[in-house]
Amino acid sequence: MNHGRTIFAQLLDFLPLHEFRKCVNRYRGNYKVQSFSCLDQFLCMAFAQLTYRDGLRDIETCLRTLGPKLYHVGIRAKVSRSTLADANENRNWRIYADFAQILICMARKLYADEDFGLSLEETVYAFDSTTIDLCLSLFPWARFRKHKAAVKAHTLLDLRGNIPCFIQITEGKTHDVNILDELILEAGAFYVMDRGYIDFARLYRFTQSLAFFVVRAKSNLDYVRRTYCLVDKSTGLRSDQTILLKGYQTSQDYPDPLRRIRYFDTETQKNLVFLTNNFSLPSLVVAQLYKCRWQVELFFKWIKQHLKIKAFYGTSENAVKTQIWIAVCVYLLIAILKKELKIQRSPGEISQILSIMLFEKTHIYQALTGFEPQNQKIESQNQFMLLNL
């Protein structure tokens, strides 16, 4: 049963805090810290993410109002905006990036059998980036254009559960295709990307690593057709060809055959051309794989709507990366919570409920579903029987 614990305190049960302490020790996060530890910082920032706080003063006011309740959720130190600002400025952001990787491993195990709309046994990833606009006068280190600053979050999303497996935060002017060099490719997996990632030398590394890619082709592709297969045009398919690149540089960068599939999307009324190094999947499945790439766009939309990553509590590079990585941790926490408790609500609904009930003293399952957990009902019945004896 829930013995008067707040929902925020119950959320911590889903976090491997012993692993968090290992991350802190790895980067000496609490070195010479008298009060306000890295865990205090993490919990304050997680509170800010879950309750949509606007700034450091807002965080300070709300948390101080809660008084003794803070101790019972693990925040031991007095919260002040200057202390939190200093922590965001100076505590190594890699502490929270490493902790996010641990939560990613937990979430991927929980969602390993999740259905994403296609009956494929292989792992399928969608790779893309989103740009977060910043004010150039406040974030001069993130110069993007002449009068604009920005950072990019390059994200590799596992489509089973929409779990971000890889995130690289760079300056806004970093070209997306360069981040392909940072990926550790998984043999047998599929990587779905937009045409911004067309670089045949880099794509050839997928083939050499026994991984598969599905990428949208550019309109000026220079190629020669070797063979073709008949397709059912009633499904939207227009052609399925085996090609060789014809350009001098591209033919050297990618000397092997490629598969070129043309598909007409009835929803957008557009002709789409895909390139892949997989020759065994049905051509319609390849087109459907690319359609699944939209899940990474929905992921970006979700975190921008439900988490604080468009307005920042600090202006340094360390503060920005700290806030983004803690936001990712909160997203993963909600995903783990949803699966562990078998909650049918969407992550957005869970986030909204948590935002208004974070310090309510009720069972978290009951708060999110409206029903008591089954084991709590059994325990209550047993206590009632003992009282009647």
Quick: pLDDT tens for 129-154: 999 999 999 999 998 988 899 999 99
How deeply is 59 buried, as exposed, middle or buried, from its count of CB atoms within 10 A (0-12, 13-18, 19+)? buried
Share of the chain above pLDDT 90, in %: 84
Integer Cα distance of 315 and 56 in angstroms = 12
Q: Which of 158, 156, 165, 166 is closest to 120 using CA atoms?
A: 158
**C-alpha 62: how far from its chain's center?**
28
pLDDT digits (tens, 9 = 90+) for 239-282: 999 999 999 999 999 999 999 999 999 888 999 999 999 999 99
What residues form DSSP beta bridges with 290?
none
Question: Do the Cβ atoms of 154 and 176 come closer than 8 Å?
Answer: yes
Least confident of 21-35, 85-99, 319-333, 364-378: 364-378
Least confident of 123-127, 359-363, 382-386: 382-386
* pLDDT confidence of residue 70: 87
Length of the chain: 389
Residue 385 has pLDDT above 50, yes or no: no
Q: Which of 308, 300, 306, 303 is closest to 44 using CA atoms?
A: 308
Residue 389 has pLDDT above 80, yes or no: no
Average pLDDT over residues 79-93: 95
pLDDT tier at 3 (50, 70, 90 boundaries)? low
Residue 388 has pLDDT above 90, yes or no: no
Measured N-to-C along each axis, helices 38-51 and 81-90 cross at an angle, to the nearest 10 degrees, of 110
pLDDT digits (tens, 9 = 90+) for 21-73: 999 999 999 998 888 999 999 999 999 999 999 999 999 999 999 888 888 88
* pLDDT confidence of residue 1: 44
Residue 97 has pLDDT above 90, yes or no: yes
* pLDDT confidence of residue 383: 41
Average pLDDT over residues 347-371: 92
* pLDDT confidence of residue 50: 95
Question: Do the Cβ atoms of 351 and 50 come closer than 8 Å?
Answer: yes
For the chain, where do the domains classified as CATH 2.20.25 start and end?
A: 200-276
> What fold, for 200-276?
N-terminal domain of TfIIb (2.20.25)
Share of the chain above pLDDT 70, in %: 95
- Name the phi and psi angles at 260, rounded to 5: -115, 120
pTM for the predicted model, two decimal places: 0.91
